[in-house]
Structure 1
Amino acid sequence: MATTLLLAGLMLAQSAPAITVEAQPGLDQVGYQALSAGRPDLAIERISADPVMSASDPAALINLGTAYARTGDRTAALARYKAALTSRDRYDLELADGRWLDSRAAARLAILMLERGKALALR
């Protein structure tokens, strides 16, 4: 897995801004394309199709949490964000504004945004 992932902020037509994660440009490995298209159910399906990734990869967990948040399941979203926070996997993510965040810091940000009624995803 790549050691860095690009994190970009997105504004959704729905109620909250989002950030989505994509391991390699052009691939939908962590549900980025489905999330950016406003299809959280499809993102859940695609991310969950790889049980290893959806159980341990911080980027996948954050996007899965975002997908659940967008479907209104805040409990499932929080569980995925917490799993990303405690994952043994850890790497840096670049924010849209050029700042870099450790994946655990991104997970903490996702939790904070969820508490404020917003969703975080990684690109």
Structure 2
Amino acid sequence: MSLIAAATLLVFATEGTLVVTAPDTEYDIGYEELVAGHDREALKAIEECEKLSDHDPARQINHAVALARVGEYDEARARFAAAARNADRYELETATGDWVDSRVLARRGLAMIDRGEFSQYVALANR
């Protein structure tokens, strides 16, 4: 996979919610839906993506975010954990323009679940 296909953007919303996006790719791994706050639609897009492996770290992170946002914390934790230990490892772009290892981003997602930051978002109801 190219760096462009693996590039993700990490955005922390005011509620402390993690939004993982994959701009500038030909793969639909829920970017538009996550940004728009349509998490169930993001899940559908991610789960129906046939062009990118289920084992891709960017896809795993997007999937985890969408799952966490709809309150599926155990499944989200499993996806974040898979990305954190994934043999494939990419430098992914953050919202601040920093390039961060995919494993680091996955561990951040796990920490957000541990701190209950996604549960606040679910109470409000969110490429």
TM band (smaller chain): 0.7 to 0.9
TM-superposed CA distance for 1:19, in Å, is: 2.6
Q: Percent identity?
A: 35
Amino acid at match of 1:24: D
* 1:16-35 aligned within 5 A: 16-24=16-24, 29-35=28-34
Q: Partners in 1 of 2:32 and 2:51 — Cα distance?
A: 20
| Match of residue 3 from structure 2 | 3
| Match of residue 121 from structure 2 | none
* 1:1-123 aligned within 5 A: 1-4=1-4, 5-11=7-13, 15-24=15-24, 29-50=28-49, 53=52, 55-119=54-118
Structure 1 moving runs of 4+ over 4 Å: none
Q: Which has the larger radius of gyration?
A: 2
Q: Partners in 2 of 1:49 and 1:33 — Cα distance?
A: 15
Amino acid at match of 1:33: E
Q: TM-score, normalised by structure 1?
A: 0.81
Q: Partners in 2 of 1:52 and 1:65 — Cα distance?
A: 18
How many pairs were matched up? Answer: 117
Q: TM-score, normalised by structure 2?
A: 0.78
The C-alpha deviation readout for 1:36-95, integer Å capped at 9, x for no partner, is 111111111111113673520111111111101111110010011011112222110122
List alignment gaps of at least 5 residues for structure 2: 119-126
Amino acid at match of 1:30: I
Q: Partners in 1 of 2:76 and 2:69 — Cα distance?
A: 9
Higher strand share: 1
Q: Partners in 2 of 1:17 and 1:39 — Cα distance?
A: 14
Q: Partners in 2 of 1:6 and 1:61 — Cα distance?
A: 11
Other structure's SS at 1:53 match = coil
